[in-house]
Amino acid sequence: MKVSQPQPVISRRMNWFQKFLLICSGGNIHILRKTPSEWNKFAGIGGIVLFTAIFATLSAGYAMFTVFDDIWISVAFAIVWGLMIFNLDRYIVSSIKKTGTWWNQLLMSLPRLILAAFLGIIISKPLELKIFEKEVNKQLNTIIQRNKTQLQAEMNGRIMQQSGPFETEKKQIAARAADYQRAYDSAAVELEKEILGKQSGLTSGKVGFGTNAKRKAELKEQRRQDLENYQKSVAPRLEYLDKEISKVYTNIETERNKTETFEDKFNGFAARLQALDELGKNSAVIALAAAFIMGLFITLEIAPVLVKLISAAGPYDYLLEKTENDYRLYSKEKIEKGNAGTDWRIEDFKDKLGN
């Protein structure tokens, strides 16, 4: 008794939106037209792929806007990125075949699951930055102020290092001038004591401007001239040292202003990632929320793969396998015919040569 094979039901009730979702799922639309019972499953897969691409577009757009600060460049890159993720997800889903044992299917799906999870992480990060934008901006200000403080400390160290020799020489000159000043002051005090008649080891004790007083007055004058001569001799050197020190301060201050201007613009994508990372370390709530958001997008990305993996083989899979097998047999038949024709021509050519 011959068993009749079931004929696929052909339906023409597929609307344009269903067709679009089925195309998004990566399924063969011609085979799906013959298997209406599979439409809901593949439409669901296509919807997930579509929304993943939409989220990827939004994610890339925000990330590029933080980099280029240009809406048109961001939109263009976001569209290209979204289309790339869309096409990649379609390929990942369509490449999973419901053939072989479940373990073989799992092993075949494992690299696709890893790739999908990686894509989920990439998509989630910019969206995390947008969700926590206010907190990230606040943390960015903290990082900027911290960097400025470190910068100021570094600049102060460089000022001390570069101006140190000049400051040391100035201190040495000031110390020498102080020695001359003390010598002059001491001579002035001794002269005053001599005139007033105050008895000491260096005065005569006689009141008035006598011989000892004249000698002490000459000594005082000599000390004054020594002080003035030294001050005059080192004045050009002090002026040079002051200019060099001022030059060091001016150069480093100019560099600091330029660096601070750069620090004020520390709000790019990498800076925001750093701020988000520090927020996660400082706040368990934000870290938990960020982990849930990342987990959500990873789940969304791997969901089509899991659906194809855990779902039982259906009419679509059988028809797809039959179609591919038909093509394999057709190809094998053509190859064998071609080989047979070639062998016949070779034998015929050998017979002609033998004759």
DSSP code of residue 132? T
Contact 276, 290 (CB under 8 A): yes
The domain spans of the chain are 16-138+283-344, 153-270
Please report which helix (H) or strand (E) contains residue 34, including its range: none
Q: Tokens at residue 304, please? A: 């089509």
- DSSP assignment of 60-92, as one string? HHHHHHHHH--HHHHHHHHHHHHHHHHHHHHHH
Give the DSSP H/E element, type plus range, for residue 2. Answer: none
Residue 354: the pLDDT is 63
Q: What DSSP line would sit under 233-293, residue for residue?
A: HHHHHHHHHHHHHHHHHHHHHHHHHHHHHHHHT--SHHHHHHHHHHHHHH-HHHHHHHHHH
Exposure of 276 by Cβ count < 10 A (0-12 exposed, 13-18 middle, 19+ buried)? buried
Report whether 19 contacts 29 (CB < 8 A): yes
pLDDT at 11: 46
Per-residue pLDDT of the chain (355 residues; tens, 9 = 90+): 444 455 544 445 778 888 898 888 888 888 888 888 888 888 888 888 898 888 888 888 888 887 777 889 889 988 998 898 888 888 888 877 777 677 777 777 788 788 888 888 888 888 888 888 888 888 888 888 887 788 778 777 777 777 788 788 888 888 888 888 888 888 787 777 666 666 565 555 566 666 676 777 788 788 888 888 888 888 888 888 888 888 888 887 777 777 766 665 666 777 888 888 888 888 888 888 888 888 888 888 788 878 777 777 778 778 877 887 888 888 888 888 888 877 787 777 666 666 5
Query: Among 287, 277, 59, 141, which Cα is nearest to 67's?
Result: 59
Give the integer Cα–Cα distance in Å for 252 and 162.
10
The pair phi, psi for residue 204, each rounded to 5°, is: -85, -20
Q: How far is CA 225 from CA 190, 201, 217, 233, in A?
A: 17, 25, 12, 12
| Residue 119 structure tokens | 């894509």
Please give the pLDDT value at position 1.
Answer: 41
CA 158 to centroid of chain Cα atoms: 29
CA-based end-to-end distance of the chain: 56
pLDDT of residue 312: 76
Sequence letter at residue 168? T
pTM, to two decimals: 0.57
Instruction: Provide the CB-side half-sphere exposure for 17 (13 A, CA).
Output: 3
The token pair that represents 329 in the structure block: 């047999």
